Amino acid sequence: MTSLSSWRRGLAAGVLFFGTACSALAHDDVAADDRGGSGSVSPLVQAARAAVFKANPQLLQSIMLGGGFGSEMSYAIANSMYSRDDATAIADARAKLKIEAVAPRTWLLRFPIVNVIVFETDEGLVLIDSGYAPAGPVLAEVLPTLSPKPVHTIILTHFHADHAFGAWALLAQKPQAPRIVAEERFIEQMELDMRSWGLNARNNQQKLADVPRDWRQAVRPSETFHRQATLRIGGEDFVLTHARGETEDQIWVAVPGRKVVASADYFQSFLPNAGNGKRRQRYPEEWAKALQDMAAQQPQMLLPAHGAAITNPAEIQDRLTAQARMLGSIAQQVIDGLNRGLRKDQVFERVALPDDLAARPDARELYVSARDIGRMVASQYTGWWNDIPSHWRPAPLASEAAELAALAGGADKLIARALAIAPGNPPLAAQLADWAWLADGESLPVVRGALQVYAQRVARPLPTQEALVYAEHMVRLQLKLQALQGQVK
């Protein structure tokens, strides 16, 4: 049983984790309270979040299951990945760092959420990734305790906030700054995030003031390559291979002389995060091929970007090939369904891993589901249309919701029906609740009922990304409920 103090710590962490989540909400009456340039959160929003998490303990548990991505979680860091001066995040990175000497002259620096890999060579240190920005000062402190050699090269596996931002604190190294190496698409992908900085902040739950809008707030590679490169450093080869996976620019790194593969974000200890519906296109089939190519290296050690090192060669082969099969199976099911002429919703409903894969611990749907990955596959092969004729040029959502509510006898009747079916069919009930809310978001019974319906939706374990979407909406509803209750008092 969870102690009261543990529950309170979890609640506080959950509230902090949504540091700017409500800035994603469409309703101005909510977003205006939480959209300041500093990213600070109003007491009203904090109270709403606290109420939602207190009333829905399973919601927080779902978020926390995948939130650490296989590593220890830090909510201070999770909300400040781009910040170079957040004292709490830097302190958490320092306090929670675990330094693991995994082989001679090889270390896995296990920060909360993400790892940094360090190889000592005769010419200097080689880092695979540099963590988030708050990890930078900690890296500058820790690396000299591992080796007197300077940092020679930092290889960035992709542009995401938890991998590519800690290097800033190492660039002042004397007499020479380390070189920063990335695949050539890194620059384009980072600049897309800069262009869409507000969207980036909302999708990542980051403070608006921290999110980079130009290269002054990010680390630009000093050297790029196309597709594959071999870096010869201190008499050792570091083979960098590009394969579109989680991002367009993603790479993995083989160190043949040490029989080590650094798998970046391709490998995870649960169903891979290949179906994140808030992020740009991901490539499950190429992701699967990358996993197969890593297995073909016959590594003796696998160093992932998240989670623990794997040092059993047989286990490495098993896990890499199994996850490749998972992604390949999902992709093939989707393509077969599309080829048969099924509507996309019918295709996604049929997606399921084969029994021998579904039973594996590394097939757990902690962050995304197999259906989420199926949707990502379909988006690579098709356009935005969902195969429903009227949805090619639909009526405005508000008009559609109003008409459905009228047919039901009013939004109150629609929400009553949603409440009635919620215990047995939470997904359908949530859809009805959405229609009622879109039809009359100023109705106290509708808003209260929608919040109750979503409480049923989150009462069972969910993948982290799905839980985050529902939590965001529930905070919106809670804020509106507080406002309406204040009006009627």
Answer with the one of 313, 337, 371 that is the final residue of a domain.
Answer: 313
Tell whether 131 and 58 lie within a shared domain: no
- Give pLDDT, residue 214: 97
pTM: 0.90
Tell whether 87 and 67 lie within a shared domain: no
Give me the domain span that covers residue 53: 4-77
Enumerate residues 6+ apart whose C-beta is below 8 A from 202: 20, 21, 23, 24
Tell whether 126 and 265 lie within a shared domain: yes
Is residue 160 in some structural domain?
Answer: yes
| CATH number for position 257 | 3.60.15.10
> Phi, psi (5° rounding) for residue 113?
80, -40
Answer with the one of 287, 313, 339 that is the final residue of a domain.
Answer: 313
Tell whether 116 and 129 lie within a shared domain: yes
What string of pLDDT tens digits covers the 489 residues of the chain? 333 344 344 444 444 444 333 333 333 334 433 434 445 567 888 899 999 999 999 998 898 876 667 778 888 999 899 999 999 999 999 999 999 999 999 999 999 999 999 999 999 999 999 999 999 999 999 999 999 999 999 999 999 999 999 999 999 999 999 999 999 999 999 999 999 999 999 888 899 999 999 999 999 999 999 999 999 999 999 999 999 999 999 999 999 999 999 999 999 999 999 999 999 999 999 999 999 999 999 999 999 999 999 999 999 999 999 999 999 999 999 999 999 999 999 999 999 999 999 999 999 999 999 999 999 999 999 999 999 999 999 999 999 999 999 999 999 999 999 999 999 999 999 999 999 999 999 999 999 999 999 999 999 999 999 999 999 999 999 999 999 998 654
- Give pLDDT, residue 68: 67
Is residue 129 in some structural domain?
Answer: yes
Q: In the chain, how many domains are there?
A: 2
End-to-end CA distance of the chain: 39
Answer with the one of 50, 77, 104 that is the final residue of a domain.
Answer: 77
Closest CA to 473 of 4, 52, 158, 139: 52
Tell whether 132 and 70 lie within a shared domain: no
Enumerate residues 6+ apart whose C-beta is below 8 A from 431: none
- Give pLDDT, residue 423: 97
- Give pLDDT, residue 356: 96
Tell whether 68 and 163 lie within a shared domain: no
Tell whether 190 and 134 lie within a shared domain: yes
